[in-house]
Structure 1
């Protein structure tokens, strides 16, 4: 009970760590994080627009899309959430000088792509589809 209370307090005050933010999705979802230091909001908007054009492909690949800035994060796919205080940028080791960055995290939680420009969906899907776990998912689906 004490651990649950502590977890609720940490979440409430936005002091969640990588374990609470990213590990809760490990082995369940691949994650795309679209980061901006708030000066490059146009790039964030363009990246999210590209991703949201392909909801079926995002779902099929078990993708969770998160947008983040210096101290907040928000899930934008599969469902839109509220902004929450977050240490996600610290956990991903995003430099304070970074204006825009896109991350792809695999089912294992490892960073599979880190790019400081808009990523085309074809590149993301090709990268994911080449991963061993994704290949196994495709084989199971085809059977």
Structure 2
């Protein structure tokens, strides 16, 4: 199983980093927190952010729409947990994310700061549920202790 995660990470590592679009200038932090799958190289996030990848076959997929509403309503909660959201709604593009994660229709994937898959769901999840999963991670618990000044 660990080998599969390493292979996924290695498959995603060579994605080229795209320059931030000029239209991003002046956007609120909440708007900048939702990116397209080809907007960033996932290796940039290792040890810095926890990517949430939301995949669907169409931007009109009701599950995709509901998931994005959940996320947009609680972007502050996700930002507090160093989450960045990546979306991909174009199966014909054969992105590296799709090749590595093999979605069947809608899929939500939480990737830890270590680059490993922590959660994979075929249905939308509320940010509160996602936050609970993140808050149980040892690295997140250490972040909380560090923030409180407890060793």
Matched residue of 1:23: which SS?
helix
Q: Is the 8 A contact 2:109 2:119 kept in 1?
A: yes
Alignment gaps of 5+ in structure 2: 1-10, 16-40
Q: Is the 8 A contact 2:110 2:120 kept in 1?
A: yes
Matched, 1:114 2:120: yes
Matched residue of 1:138: which SS?
helix
Alignment gaps of 5+ in structure 1: 1-16, 73-84
- Once the two structures are superposed, the pairs formed by residues 6-25 of structure 1 within 5 Å of their partners are 18-19=12-13, 20=15, 21-25=41-45
- Please state how far the C-alpha of 1:137 moved relative to its aligned partner: 0.5
Give the structure-2-normalised TM-score. Answer: 0.68
The CA RMSD measured in Å over matched residues stands at 1.7
Paired position in structure 1 for 2:111:
105
- Please state how far the C-alpha of 1:122 moved relative to its aligned partner: 1.6
Paired position in structure 2 for 1:49:
69
CA shift in 2, pair 1:127/1:93, >3 Å: same
Matched residue of 1:112: which SS?
strand
Paired position in structure 2 for 1:11:
none
Aligned length, in residue pairs: 112
Matched, 1:124 2:118: no
Give the structure-1-normalised TM-score. Answer: 0.72
Q: Distance in 2 between matches of 1:63 and 1:116?
A: 19
- Please state how far the C-alpha of 1:37 moved relative to its aligned partner: 1.2
Paired position in structure 2 for 1:88:
97
Q: Distance in 1 between matches of 2:126 and 2:64?
A: 13
Listed one character per residue, the Cα deviations across residues 13-35 of structure 1 (whole Å, up to 9, x for unaligned) are xxxx5003321211111011111
The range that moved more, 46-55 or 17-26, is 17-26
Paired position in structure 1 for 2:148:
142
Say which structure is richer in strand.
Answer: 1
